[in-house]
Amino acid sequence: MDASTLIDSFRVDGRVAVITGAGSGIGRASALALAGAGATVVCADIDRDSAVETAADIVGAGGRGEGVGLDVSVKRAVDDLAERVVADHGGIHIWANIAGIMVEGPVLDAPEEDLDRILAVNLKGVLFGCQAAGRVMVGQADGGSIVNASSAAADVPSPNVVSYAMCKAGVVQLTKSLAYEIGRKGVRVNAVAPGFVLTGMTGRYFVRPDGTVDEEMQEAVLAPMRKATPLRSIGEPEDIAAAVLYLASDASRFVTGQVVRPNGGVAML
């Protein structure tokens, strides 16, 4: 590959991508990045309005996108979306399982309902996405790329978010095992494991119900995060979208079963 081809290998023109959790944060930034690189992007989110908004921003910027409501914890709904996208667009080349939720609390007191809820979205939801996308991709001449959202919480001890960390560690093993199973069919499966990124998930610690920011609280949350990070910085959704684009595109054509860690250095493996 010469240098100009190498840069072009990040483009995803003519590809069809499905991004879950595309209404907000990392999923939204990933949808915009893939669309900017040429993909037709199906933006899926449990909050349909926010997915439609992301798609509208894609179209407004001259790209191709549509927004749909999807609860990733409902297997039938995930399968239906994959079938519908194939019927409408002729295939699926990229599927990013980004949707996720956070549940907090000390492990000894963790209620079973909380565990069931987070497993349903953060682990089963990712598996359902992998199954629906993988079934389509293994039958395609040009294969495909699946990208799963893990977390630095899978790499380091994660007090107070143990069920979340369990799910994210499970995503890593799912990613590796599936990558091994379907690699020979031309389908790559990788994960991104972000460090602390400013999104709705993390902003809720300091964003008031009316949407304004409690700046004192924000600094109280972010200062120790920065201090614990070798790069002394907090991630932005685009920092993770860049990794998603790399993994989705041919730039990573020799990469599968891997965990890419845009985390400011908070975990080094």
Q: Cβ closer to ligand NAP: 175 or 250? A: 175
Single-letter code of the amino acid located at 69 = G
Q: How far is the CB of 54 from ligand NAP (least distance, A)?
A: 9
Cβ atoms of 248 and 34 closer than 8 Å: yes
Cβ atoms of 193 and 164 closer than 8 Å: no
Residues 6+ apart with CB under 8 A from 9: 1, 249, 250, 251, 253
Q: Cβ closer to ligand NAP: 145 or 202? A: 202
Q: Cβ closer to ligand NAP: 16 or 191? A: 191
Using CB under 6 A as the criterion, which residues of the chain lie in contact with ligand NAP when the complex forms?
20-21, 23-27, 45-47, 50, 70-73, 98-101, 121, 125, 149, 151, 194, 196-197, 199-202
Q: Cβ closer to ligand NAP: 40 or 199? A: 199
Q: Which of the residues 164, 180, 205, 246 is marked catalytic?
A: 164
Total Cβ atoms within 10 A of residue 93: 25
Across the chain, the runs of DSSP E, i.e. the strands, are 16-20, 40-45, 64-69, 94-97, 144-149, 187-192, 259-260
Catalytic residue check, 180: no
DSSP string across 125-139: HHHHHHHHHHHHHHT
Single-letter code of the amino acid located at 141 = A
Q: How far is the CB of 28 from ligand NAP (least distance, A)?
A: 7
Q: How far is the CB of 176 from ligand NAP (least distance, A)?
A: 18
Q: How far is the CB of 8 from ligand NAP (least distance, A)?
A: 28
Q: Just list the catalytic residues.
A: 164
